[in-house]
Structures are given as C-alpha cells and as structure tokens.
Amino acid sequence: MKIETIAIHAGNHVDASSKAVIQPIVLSTTFERAVDGTFPGGHIYSRASNPNRALLENLLAKLEGGADAASFSSGNAAGMSVFQSLEPGTHIIAPDDMYHGLRNQLKNLFAGILEFDFIDVNDSEVLQQHIMPHTGLIWVETPSNPLLKITDIRKVVQIAKKHGIKVACDNTFATPVCQRPLELGADLVMHSCTKYFGGHSDLMGGALITKEKSDWWAKIRQVQEYGGAIPSPMDCYMLTRSMKTLPYRMRGHVHNAQLLAEYLENHPKVEQVMYPGLPSHLQHEIAKEQMDSFGGMLSFCLKDGEAEARRVINNLKIFTRATSLGGVESLIEHRATVEGPDTKTPFNLLRVSVGLEHIDDLVADMEAALS
C-alpha cells in the first residue's frame, strides 16, 4: 500500500461488537483473564499494552517500514529509553548540533554512566577518528535542529557496520513522508510525535521504530514497560487520528517552506537561508538523494545581527512566537535563547516551522516585518 492508504488504515479497525468504523477508546487499565489463566484479548495491564497503543504502534511501524514500534509519552522519553537500554560504559557518538533536549539528557543524566562525544558526524574522517572499541551507537539527526544540516545516512551506516555499531536516526523534522532512514540502513528511528505526527500542537508523544526485533529492541521494550513513560489511550487515539492526514499535511508544509525559503534567500536583509530544498544548501545533493521532499522547517540569519532578528520576530503578525514545530500554524523562535549558554546556534538566526496558511499571507507578513 502507498503511504496515504497506510496512514488511514494501519492504525484503525472496525469494532467487532458495535461495528463502529472508527476504533473505540479503551480506558481500562486492566484486562480479564480466561479460566485457563490466559488473556484472550492479548492485553494484561495498560502499562504493558493497550488496544489503542497497539494500533498506534502498528501504524508507526508501517509508516517507517519497520518490524515493530514502541510509543512513549514524549520524544524525550523515547530518546531516553534508547540511552537506558545501553550497557553502562557504552560510548555514543552524536552530532555537535544534536537537539538540545537529548543532548542535555546525555550531559546531565548519563554522565558517569555512558560516554559520549558530540562531533561533526558529517565528516567521515572525524567520525572514524572518534570510534572506540566500546562505541555502541551513532546517533544522527537529519535534517538537524535548527541548522538544517543533512547527514548522509548511507555513509554513516557503512562506517558503523564495519565496527558493529548501531545507528539511530531522529527523523522528526522529515517524517516518513519525506525520508525513511530504515530503508537507508539505520537500525532505529526516533520521532517526537508531538510535532508533525500530532500536527495540531495539542498532544505529546514519542516513538521508536526498529528495523528488526533484536535483543536490543527487546531491552528497549523492557525500558518502555518497566519505566512506564507511555502515552494514554486518549493520546494514542488522537495521535492515530491526526496521522491519517499526515501525508497531505506534509505536502502543504513542504510547498510553503520551499516558497518561503526562496523568498527569504532573495531578500536583501537576509544573510543566509538554511533549507535543504535550496540548491545553495551545502548538502542539497545529499538531500535530493535520500529524501523524497525537503520538509517544512527552515532557519534564516539576518545580516544586521541579533538585534535585527529580535526586531523582525517581534513585528510578525501571522507567525506565532513559540517553541515546538509541526503544527498547522506557522511558528517562529529565536533559537539561541531557547537553547541556553552552550548553544552553537548563531544569535542572528530565526527558526521557522512553516504552517499551512496561504503562502501569500505568510510572505506578506514576513515582508512587512523585514521592512
């Protein structure tokens, strides 16, 4: 099936008793045993599994082309479960511009438990220099947040496999509509479902999708069950509902982002636009090779520095000043302020989550703010 059909049907079923076309919400935390002690419904206790979560995880796995999926209460919970599944002392290689929430997890919660280096994973020589005998995981994020760097997933996987190292990819910015890392050789995909999967800025969630059901995946599943950082049945239902329109929403985000990026690139007050769909992007050719389309996120830098960036962001009317991304409304933020004192983000940079408003209105709003 094509991705539009998967998005509508893989997370749903017709209810056997009522014949309702849409799955019911099952709020029960516990499930009845049969006389012989088995569980005919396949569920024991809702921390371990729930009918709504099972449907959501089937949908997630099918969209990414994986063998299985695990859903969590947030993207950070999903990422943390990967780190918790690793043996103490495991060395992780991560991008130097890794999403600050997961970067801070490693630095503040796993210091002394895991080892980690934040490097330019796009430089093959630097990457190979940092591989050690106890390196167990290479984490990639492409496109990256907020610099929109593109990592050649196939190249990283090729290097990793020579050393028996697993590769995990944060695919939040791209979604499986634009990019499918498992098909490119990655072992694991992570999503913050709060973003494009939810799509309406009104629910939180996270997900991991595995290429195969390995011993490592079994350990991640244990972390999910024992740790209990799971989404509620209502969140699972709402997320499954939202994901039915994901392929069509993403087309609108991509369309608007491309046109807004082209407009900004030609504006005299803009120093640089970071969007992989622009030929001027340093990794545009890699993006064309591994992505079906280029996503709905972009960043741009103003020539007149931080003060001008703050002036522009405060003069916008349609773009909302807010953290997060992936909703139908356009959001903009001064990312360096959000990331804190150790940020690598330029202070003249604004990050934009391009929404589904009419592109003419977005361009007009930006033009007024820049003037």
The residues annotated as belonging to the active site are: 47, 99, 170, 195
Find out whether 106 and 112 touch, Cβ atoms under 8 Å: no
Q: What is the DSSP letter of 90?
A: -
Contact 71, 198 (CB under 8 A): no
Return the DSSP state at 194: T
Sign of CA dihedral 148, 330, 259, 350: negative
Radius of gyration of the chain (CA): 21
Task: Write the DSSP assignment of 307-327 as a string of letters.
Answer: HHHHHHHHH-SSSEE-S---S
Residues 121, 131: Cα–Cα separation, whole Å = 11
Question: What number of CA atoms fall less than 13 Å from residue 9's CA on the CB side?
Answer: 6
- CA dist 125 and 115 (Å) reads 20
Q: Where are the alpha helices (DSSP H) in 72-166?
A: 75-84, 100-109, 124-129, 153-162
Q: How many CA atoms lie within 13 A of 243 on its CB side?
A: 36
Q: What pairs with residue 192 in β-bridges?
A: 206
Q: Which residues contact 323 (CB under 8 A, 6 or more apart)?
A: 331, 333, 338
Instruction: Identify the DSSP state of 14.
Output: -
* Residue 285 CB neighbour total at 10 angstroms: 12
Positive or negative, the CA dihedral 275, 139, 197, 15 is positive
Residues pairing with 141 in the sheet: 170
| Half-sphere exposure at residue 289, Cβ-oriented, CA atoms within 13 angstroms | 11
CB 191 within 8 A of CB 69: no
Q: How many CB atoms lie within 10 A of CB 226?
A: 10
